Amino acid sequence: MRIGVPKEIKNNEFRVGLIPTSVHELVHHGHEVVVQQGAGLGAGLTDDDYIAAGATLLATAEEIFASADMIVKVKEPQAVERKMLRPGQILFTYLHLAPDAPQTHDLVDSGAVCIAYETVTAPNGSLPLLTPMSEVAGRLAPQVGAHSLEKAQGGRGVLLGGVPGVAPAEVLVLGGGVSGTQAATIAIGMGAQVTVVDRSNDALKRLSAQFGSAISTVYSTKAAIQELIQRADLVIGTVLIPGAAAPKLITRDMLKTMKPGSVIVDVAIDQGGCTETSKATTHADPTFVVDGVVHYCVANMPGAVARTSTFALNNATLPFTLALANKGWKQALKDDKHLRNGLNVCEGKITCEPVATTHNLPYVTAENVLGL
């Protein structure tokens, strides 16, 4: 199979779909890899690194899309990239279709086979290709939140960890999953007073066992969130419903009760965000203010630490990339129900039920498409 790696073109996106060691592994298995010139530079990976690994360099994205059987990316294809997809071509990347109707319609129209990292599952029910980026985003959230709390950034002028004689900031984490746990880890390390809310009693027990008295855990209800956000200096939203739009846990009316200059870091923005006032931003212009509250809603947070993120992502995606290349998409999906869960759009049909439901479009099971 010929695998193509284009350079990412989303605003300030410096990650890359394959690292040289992944290229070497694919070549070792008899495949051909074509990489766009300069695709890895943002992650510190040179063209010479790719050549040494056995890749062929091509000058433009158009050449990559035109020649490859499978496109391996990081972020969802932008409008200009979607026009280059062709029927039967495999697209393996993050898609986040629930909040993105234009992309959904374009992928349906393309006839391509679109497999989303974020809905591939594991036997234990986790999301193995989303996990590494959730870890990165979770660990970044207190860092960017602390920066946004600085007065020069529009924040309250509060130091996250406080100082002797002055109380630390109060940090509220919405969701105790992968991102929420990592956010709590870093916020505690920075000296903040941390509360995590979740609707899973198992998650709350796990967090209490992991952190002990270093955090407070609260069962998530609307009333509890309403009370907690009034005290919080920093709110980190990490809630996730796989494949579906994130629930709006903070309404506009609730926002008005928050402290002036407080900060919301909406890690869930890829799936539409967990506050009514969230809208996707970029690393070039990461924040905006609504009702005196600073919103940080960068839709590709891990791109800020592109090298770490790229290597972590490849560690997770490579086995699946190899399976798709070695077997072809149909056999790979037939053999692995967990990879099959990643199939979102296939040759004009939507095969991810939450996406179909969100956009009020027809849904066909992956098993039906594959004849299982």
Taking the CA of residue 75 as centre, how many other CA atoms within 13 Å lie in the half-sphere pointing to its CB?
Answer: 22
Residue 233 is a catalytic residue: no
Specify whether 266 is catalytic.
no
Nearest to 138 by CA among 186, 100, 99: 186
How many angstroms separate the CA atoms of 283 and 276, rounded? 21
Question: Residue 331 in contact with residue 313, Cβ under 8 Å?
Answer: no
Rounded to whole angstroms, the Cα distance separating 213 from 187 reads 14
**Catalytic one among 100, 198, 266, 270?**
270
d(CA 354, CA 202): 25
Cβ pair 328, 321 in contact under 8 A: no
Count H helices, E strands: the chain?
A: 15, 15
Catalytic residue among 96, 100, 198, 233: 96
Q: Could you write out the DSSP letters of every residue in 179-233?
A: HHHHHHHHHHHTT-EEEEEES-HHHHHHHHHHHGGGEEEEE--HHHHHHHHHH-S
Who's near 220: CB < 8 A, 6+ residues apart? 174, 197, 198, 199, 249
Q: Residue 323 phi/psi, 5° resolution?
A: -60, -45
Question: Do 149 and 157 meet the contact criterion of CB atoms below 8 Å apart?
Answer: yes
Which residues are annotated as catalytic? 96, 270
